[in-house]
Amino acid sequence: MAADMINWGLLALDPPGWGGVLLGGLMNSIKIALGGYSLGLVLGTFGAFGKLYGGPVTRDLMEVYTTLVRAVPELVLILLLYYAGTDLLNRVSAALGYGSVDISGLAAGIFVIGVVQGAYSTEVLRGAILAIPQGQIEVARAYGMPPLLMLRRITLPAMLPFAIPGLANLWLIATKDTALLAIVGFNELTQTTRTAAGATKAYFTFFMAAGALYLALTLFSNLILGRVERWARRGLPPVGSTA
Partner 1 sequence: MSSETSILPTPPRTSAWLQPHRIVLILIALGLVIASACFMRWDWLPNYLPIALEGIWRTIWLLVASAALGIMLAVPLGLVQVTGPMILSIPARTFCTIIRGTPLLLQLWLLYYGLGSLFPQFPWIRESFMWPYLRQAWPYGLLALTLSFAGYEGEVMRGAFAGVARGQLEAARAFGMSRWKVFRRIWLPQAVQRALPTLAGETVLQLKATPLVATITVVDIYAVASRVRQETFVVYEPLLLLALVYLCITGIIVFLFRRLEARIPTRLG
Residues lying near partner 1 in the complex (CB under 8 A) are found at: 52, 56-57, 60-61, 68, 70-77, 79-80, 83-84, 87, 123, 127, 130, 172, 176-180, 182-183, 190, 193-194, 197, 201, 203-204, 207-208, 210-211, 214-215, 218-219
Residue 144 falls in which region: left (phi positive, over 0), alpha (psi -120 to 50) or beta: left
- Which of 212, 223, 225 lies closest to 167, judged by CA? 225
Residue nearer to partner 1 on the CB measure, 130 or 149: 130
Q: What share of the chain is helix, strand, coil (3-state, %, to 5)?
A: 80, 0, 20
Supply the minimum distance, in Å, between the C-beta of residue 39 and partner 1. 20
Q: Which is nearer to partner 1, 160 or 179 (CB)?
A: 179
| Nearest distance, CB of residue 71 and partner 1, angstroms | 4
Cβ-count burial 124-147 (b if 16+ within 10 Å, e if not):
bbbebbeebeeeebeebeeeebee
Q: 233: how many CB neighbours lie within 10 A of its CB?
A: 15
Q: Whole-angstrom Cα distance, residue 93 to residue 114?
A: 23
Measured from the CB of residue 235, what is the shortest distance to partner 1 in angstroms? 25
When the beta carbons of 83 and 231 are compared against partner 1, the nearer one is 83
Taking the least distance from each CB to partner 1, the nearer of 91 and 152 is 91
Pick between residue 145 and residue 208 the one whose CB is nearest to partner 1: 208
d(CA 53, CA 197): 51
- Supply the minimum distance, in Å, between the C-beta of residue 170 and partner 1: 13
Q: 212 or 235: whose CB is closer to partner 1?
A: 212
For CA atoms 228, 27, 184, 207, give the dihedral sign: negative
DSSP state of 72: S
Query: Closest separation between CB of residue 7 and partner 1, Å?
Result: 14
Contact indicator for 110, 33 with CB cutoff of 8 Å: no
Q: How far is the CB of 82 from partner 1 (least distance, A)?
A: 10
